[in-house]
Amino acid sequence: MIVENQQKEDMIVYQVEIEDDGSSIKELLRKKLNTSSRLLSKLKRDESILVNDEYKKYHELVKEGDIIKIIMEEEPSGFKGEDLPFNIVYEDVDLIIVNKDTGIVTHPTKSHPEGTVANAAQHYLNKNGIYCKIRFVNRLDMDTSGLLMIAKNPYAHHVLSEQMQRDQVEKKYIAFVEGIIEKDFGIINAPIHRPTFESIKRVVDCKGQPSLTKYKVLKRYSKATMIEVQLITGRTHQIRVHMEDIGHPLIADSLYGTTSNLIDRQALHASYLKLSQPRYGKTVEIIGNLPEDLIELQMKLDS
């Protein structure tokens, strides 16, 4: 079992239970902690698996009551820390979830080398004496606001990434779309394809990856609809592509629709996450409040 009062960002402490008696360290770490092969190889190379505070090779057997410590020390990310908005809505030993503002890039790029969420995260970690690499579990477009997950160690990143790949993370968005959607509920099942390697824009095409989106109407306005969208799969631009395909592009989505004088970015917000905490397995459920520009958009649509 996980020894809760001894956990750190860079260390997992596990006490061997009776059902684990006679297992090898490798078997136990795979079975009970879902440890990746890559992390196991690194732990072996760095001699970072301790049993009762002594280094052990991971083929050795353990007995009930043994204390296993997995040390995951690593060099911090090389990002420049910047004192930028960093709205944390959840944090634990493995994970930070922030409610990202619009207009901010997640990760530094050639065109945005600074002023990113990664720079803000580095400033926060430095300020609080947390030494870990910054690993994003999900990404959001620069002009999409909402909930963004950052793993604090390679173990958490692996477990959460597997949850994402298996569609075990429940993700919901709030979107404002053009026109009136008549059905209260709907499912869009349409494959999404990237026409060329250079293409930014995706299209619905039979050559694409299977893509499934659920939506429900929250409110209808005179010429627009507010919807809650649940991603069953997680393709790039999935909501934007699917809503454009059914004739209701996001308001102000210049790539898949048209610009708008109501708001200066696509009206999309990642509003909800439900996942399993990596090392404890407890359910984590987070709601990210709407940002000011979408609240203002609601007021404009109401008037």
Enzyme catalytic residues: 141
Report how far residue 265's alpha carbon sits from residue 254's, in angstroms, rounded to the nearest whole number.
Answer: 8
Placement of tokens 């002009």 in the chain? 143
Displacement of CA 193 from its chain's centroid (Å): 22
Which tokens is 230 given? 């649940």
DSSP string, 187-218: EEE--EE-SSTT--S-EE-TTSB--EEEEEEE
Q: d(Cα 128, Cα 84) in Å, to the nearest integer?
A: 15
**The two structure tokens encoding residue 141:** 């477009």
Question: What is the Cα–Cα distance from 214 to 239, expressed in whole angstroms?
Answer: 10
What 3-state DSSP class applies to 53? coil
15 touches 39 (CB < 8 A): no
Label residues 261-299 b or e (16+ Cβ within 10 Å = b). Answer: eebebbbbbbbbbebebbbeeeebeeebebbebbeebbe
Task: State the amino acid at position 141 in one-letter form.
Answer: D
- DSSP summary character for residue 103: T
